[in-house]
DNA sequence: AACTAAGTTTCAAATAATGAAACTAGTTAA
DNA sequence: TTAACTAGTTTCATTATTTGAAACTTAGTT
């Protein structure tokens, strides 16, 4: 749970999240009715965030929306803290080879966050899916990433899952998910068996460090009309090559830290 | 200038920016040496931001980088506060028709922020340029956007330009830029005459509201080996169609605000 | 063992955040 | 026209948080 014991800064970021979670520009009064803060306090937070460009105020409509400064900051996150720059060429060739949609994802606070995507079918790339979040307990990438979490963090992560039943095959308890996670660790890969959307299946592999921590995951997605789990499973060696190449590059990615003697 | 009179929250965001601006993971001591805050204060900010997922700490290397929470937040910004969702299909067809690279940009604090891009040449899309920032005074999109700024804001914006001379044609003073801005307002479009990079030229049009405020801008980029300014100018009608279509959609985009009677 | 550098914790003083209530402006109802 | 209501903004004494110098802890040198 996002610790709310982080003083004023934590509270302000809570407000920012609240605006972002609406998915559309919101009025002050709408925020107020969903906020634990009193009017004046919330008002000041919203003012501060707007001054800072973290929120954008539309004076015509009197609404607040997430601000452009977030795009700038996220671009920095993408470039320096995500696997995307390393992975991009590998994803291109993987997607070409398997002729299907490829996703690159990382874990953020027990949620899946999609970092990049290659869409083999459509000639046109969807507008950036980057930053899109998804559930960990019912996606291929999510399950393979939490499978490699250390036991302490795994408990936390499982507690944060909603276990909402999307389809007939969705895991609805931590217990049943745990069983599958053991299988995933044994095999080194995992499936999405139409657990999130009917007709959509995928196979996912973790991107592992030498110490077997998952830095991220790659998945190849298809539909039950085009293939089946066995079909996807046959792609494992090809996908593993990609995952290992990315892991390898990631380990040698960071330049030696320049030593200052000022 | 990003007002630094925004209390604790403003200071924390200043630290966040500082990390982001390094472009690579940084050690605490590196941050400290470039910071106006004393050790303990900076330390607490970095801790708080890390707790909050705005920074990510790499325990192996002892470095901080921008966190994944930023991607999630930026995705929300992209979807609800940028022109990207509205513009995407128009950009597709524009790029197809003109057979060149198309950019969509917005203004953030007197800087250009690239929101989306279509790359007609390469089959492969560059990994998300979204969030990338650029100078306003020497890019096509930048100039057409500030050209339509109200006089008050224009002054501010000009003060914030660095006027660094990238090439022989770069504007190096507010005065010479102002002259061109008048031309842009008269014509309704502007050029980049190799002002940022030698050999790279572009034509840009603003996306205007009914009240002539620029919501953003579109540009078509090419090289001096392929075409010239007159060649780009001939695309104006086609680009204008796109800009107007986006502006039109944007004005009717926001749903009526639902009234709560809880 | 002594020295150095990087990172972390402490605690009284200084500062900033808090929120109830008052106020303003715009809108609807009587 | 006046009254009542709603949304947004400001005030200010109280309260809680931030602040930062200095002390402390590692961990790596010499």
CA angle A197, A200, A202 (to 5 degrees): 120
Q: Which regions of chain A are under pLDDT 50?
A: 1-3, 123-127, 255-262
What is chain B's Cα-based Rg? 21
Is A118 inside a domain boundary? yes
B8: which chain A residues are within 8 Å (Cβ-Cβ)? 7-9
B252: which chain A residues are within 8 Å (Cβ-Cβ)? none
Is B174 inside a domain boundary? yes
Cβ–Cβ under 8 Å, residues B177 and B143: yes
Is B261 inside a domain boundary? no
Same-domain status, B86 and B216: yes
Question: Between chains, do B108 and A66 touch, taking CB under 8 Å as contact?
Answer: no
pTM of the prediction?
A: 0.88
Same-domain status, A37 and A86: no
Same-domain status, B162 and B194: yes
CATH of the domain at A58: 1.10.10.10
CA distance A106 to A108: 7
CB contact B80 to A (< 8 Å): yes
Is B257 inside a domain boundary? no
Q: From the Cβ of A41, is strand C under 7 Å away?
A: yes
Same-domain status, B193 and B178: yes
Which phi and psi angles does A215 have, rounded to 5°?
-80, -30
Counting beta carbons within 10 angstroms of the beta carbon of residue A78, is it exposed (0 to 12), middle (13 to 18) or buried (19 or more)? buried
Question: Which residue range(s) make up the domain with B164?
Answer: 73-251
CATH of the domain at A174: 3.30.450.40
Same-domain status, A52 and A154: no
Surface of A (145-174) touching B: CB under 8 A: none
Same-domain status, B77 and B201: yes
End position of a domain, from candidates B67, B85, B107: B67
Same-domain status, A241 and A191: yes
Same-domain status, A246 and A141: yes
End position of a domain, from candidates B23, B39, B67: B67
Question: What are the structure tokens assigned to B107, written together?
Answer: 């203004």
**Residue A233 CA to its chain's centroid (Å):** 23
Which phi and psi angles does B20 have, rounded to 5°?
-60, -35
Is B108 inside a domain boundary? yes
Q: Which of B51, B68, B84 sits opposite A77 (nearest CB)?
A: B68
Task: For residue A105, give every residue at least 6 positions away whose Cβ sits within 8 Å of its Cβ, in sequence order, or none.
Answer: A112, A113, A114, A115, A134, A139, A141, A142, A145, A216, A217, A218, A219
End position of a domain, from candidates B45, B67, B89: B67
Is A26 inside a domain boundary? yes
Task: For residue B67, give every residue at least 6 positions away whose Cβ sits within 8 Å of its Cβ, in sequence order, or none.
Answer: A77, A81, A108, B49, B50, B52, B53, B54, B55, B56
Q: Which of B65, B109, B125 sits opposite A80 (nearest CB)?
A: B65
CA distance A138 to A165: 9
- The tens-digit pLDDT sequence of chain B (262 residues) is 444 578 999 999 999 999 999 999 999 999 999 999 999 999 999 999 999 999 999 988 899 999 999 999 999 999 898 999 999 999 999 999 999 999 999 998 899 999 998 887 654 444 456 889 999 999 999 999 999 999 888 998 999 999 999 999 999 999 999 999 999 999 999 999 999 999 999 999 999 988 898 999 999 999 999 999 999 999 999 999 999 999 999 887 654 433 333 2
B174 CA, D4 C1': Å apart: 54
Is A243 inside a domain boundary? yes
CA distance B173 to B157: 13
Q: Count structural domains, chain B.
A: 2
A77: which chain B residues are within 8 Å (Cβ-Cβ)? 20, 65-68, 70-71
The number of beta carbons lying within 10 Å of the beta carbon of residue B180 is 17
Is A170 inside a domain boundary? yes
Same-domain status, B104 and B155: yes
- The pLDDT of residue B256 is 40
CB contact A120 to B (< 8 Å): no
Same-domain status, A97 and A201: yes
Question: What are the structure tokens assigned to A222, written together?
Answer: 């298809």
Surface of A (9-28) touching B: CB under 8 A: 9-10, 12-13, 16-17, 19-25, 27
Same-domain status, B142 and B233: yes
Same-domain status, B54 and B139: no
């Amino acid at each position: 749970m996002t610790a709310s014991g982080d003083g004023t800064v934590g509270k302000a970021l809570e407000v920012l999240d609240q605006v972002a979670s609406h998915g559309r520009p919101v009025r002050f009064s709408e925020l107020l009715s969903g906020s634990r803060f009193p009017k004046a306090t919330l008002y000041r937070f919203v003012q501060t965030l707007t001054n800072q460009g973290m929120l954008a105020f539309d004076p015509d409509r009197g609404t607040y929306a997430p601000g452009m400064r977030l795009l700038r900051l996220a671009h920095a996150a993408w470039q320096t803290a995500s696997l995307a720059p390393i992975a991009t060429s590998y994803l291109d060739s993987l997607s070409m080879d398997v002729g299907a949609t490829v996703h690159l994802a990382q874990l953020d606070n027990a949620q899946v966050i999609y970092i990049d995507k290659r869409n083999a079918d459509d000639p046109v790339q969807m507008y950036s899916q980057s930053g899109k979040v998804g559930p960990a307990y019912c996606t291929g990438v999510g399950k393979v990433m939490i499978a490699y979490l250390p036991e302490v963090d795994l408990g936390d992560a499982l507690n944060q899952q909603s276990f909402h039943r999307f389809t007939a095959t969705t895991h609805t308890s931590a217990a049943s998910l745990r069983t599958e996670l053991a299988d995933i660790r044994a095999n080194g890969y995992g499936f999405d068996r139409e657990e999130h959307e009917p007709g959509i299946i995928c196979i996912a592999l973790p991107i592992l460090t030498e110490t077997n921590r998952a830095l991220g995951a790659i998945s190849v997605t298809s539909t039950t009309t085009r293939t089946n789990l066995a079909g996807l499973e046959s792609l494992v060696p090809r996908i593993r090559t990609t995952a290992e190449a990315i892991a390898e590059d990631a380990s040698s990615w960071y330049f030696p830290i320049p030593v200052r003697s000022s």
